[in-house]
Copies of this chain bind each other. A is one copy, B any other.
């Protein structure tokens, strides 16, 4: 098993943010796997989604069960082979897994709460670029991410076209649609209207808006799963059938009755124990705001004209959060610009979550793509 080590890098210079604000003296947590080659041409940056971190692959020496969130994809001999590539995981600014965020600045101890500035996908990419500068990496062999991570990968190709040779954009979208924003908004309202939220300064009150976080996570989970997989996994199964009445129902409005309820409550409870409420607001807002076509009157083809790298896009048939149609919009816009695009639409039952799961076709598509890159790298050719 790959042994991971969490590192941290402090950035003293102010980072100008899209909102007009700026942040300075922040640190980013990151991990690296594999070895950077002599000409520094084999680096792959992994961008994370809402509930993930820089701990992408492997386990920590002292935490043998704390496995990276994309460990099934990344590691020695895996689809993204760390024997071939130097892989970098980074925790985004504003997150709650080590980097500076609303909960704390690990270097100054400052607790921002609601005063943490709004950060965007573009801001994250700028922060990631500074990390690469510090690591001495001029150009990425590839940038890769799923969901919100895919948005960052796409944004890399627009903000730093010369620094990216390949982008792997999985289960993503060129922006949120109204329904996506709507779900985010309900989750945010649940958090913000929780009396324990205290306008984002709950840390000072020694409380956590757990009620709101639970509701937010339950909503999220519904949108991550497909209807099909929910029916298959849970259906209308009761948690505990009462056998002394004909229907098996308890007839209660509050007790857990169906398995799906039990599952959602568990997911909500678990999440509320570790996730930061302000981070939830920030990250969902970053999702809402991402819209590279906005500055081009909604014309995605024009927006993506800046991208010059090669692309692999992957979508999943039952993903209703970021449906295949959204990936096809990106594919079309790239093809309009005569870009080199590979696209795989994977027939998978698991909905949006599929991008994190073991699906042989999916993992093989990514493997082939990186194998070709590795081959070209080893040959010294242009991948």
Interface residues of A (CB under 8 A from B): 18-21, 114, 118, 120, 175-179, 181-183, 185-186, 188-190, 192-195, 211, 214-215, 218-219, 221-222, 225, 227, 230-231, 233-236, 245-249, 251-254, 257-258, 260-261, 264-265, 268, 278, 281-282, 285, 288-289, 291, 294-295
Chain B nearest CB from A302 CB (Å) reads 16
Pick from B247, B258, B281: contact of A253, CB below 8 A: B281
Q: How far is the CA of A90 from the CA of B240 in the complex (A)?
A: 35
The answer to whether B260 touches A178 (Cβ under 8 A) is: yes
Name, among A227, A233, A252, the residue most crowded by chain B CB atoms within 10 Å (CB to CB): A227
CB contacts (< 8 Å) of A175 on chain B: these are 236
Pick from B234, B265, B268: contact of A178, CB below 8 A: B234
CB contacts (< 8 Å) of A193 on chain B: these are 211, 214-215
CB contacts (< 8 Å) of A245 on chain B: these are 20
Chain B nearest CB from A114 CB (Å) reads 8
Name which residue of chain B comes closest to A102, CB basis. Answer: B253
The answer to whether A189 touches B265 (Cβ under 8 A) is: yes
The answer to whether B264 touches A182 (Cβ under 8 A) is: yes
Chain B nearest CB from A276 CB (Å) reads 12
Chain B nearest CB from A288 CB (Å) reads 7
Name, among A189, A214, A245, the residue most crowded by chain B CB atoms within 10 Å (CB to CB): A189
CB contacts (< 8 Å) of A114 on chain B: these are 253
Name, among A183, A190, A257, A278, the residue most crowded by chain B CB atoms within 10 Å (CB to CB): A190
Pick from B195, B211, B219, B295: contact of A247, CB below 8 A: B295
Pick from B176, B218, B252, B253: contact of A186, CB below 8 A: B218
Name which residue of chain B comes closest to A176, CB basis. Answer: B236
Name which residue of chain B comes closest to A298, CB basis. Answer: B236
Shortest 6 CB-CB contacts between residues of A and residues of B: A19-B251, A178-B230, A253-B281, A118-B251, A193-B211, A178-B234
CB contacts (< 8 Å) of A246 on chain B: these are 295
CB contacts (< 8 Å) of A120 on chain B: these are 251
A/B interface sample: 6 pairs, CB < 8 A: A177-B235, A178-B235, A181-B258, A181-B261, A192-B254, A253-B285
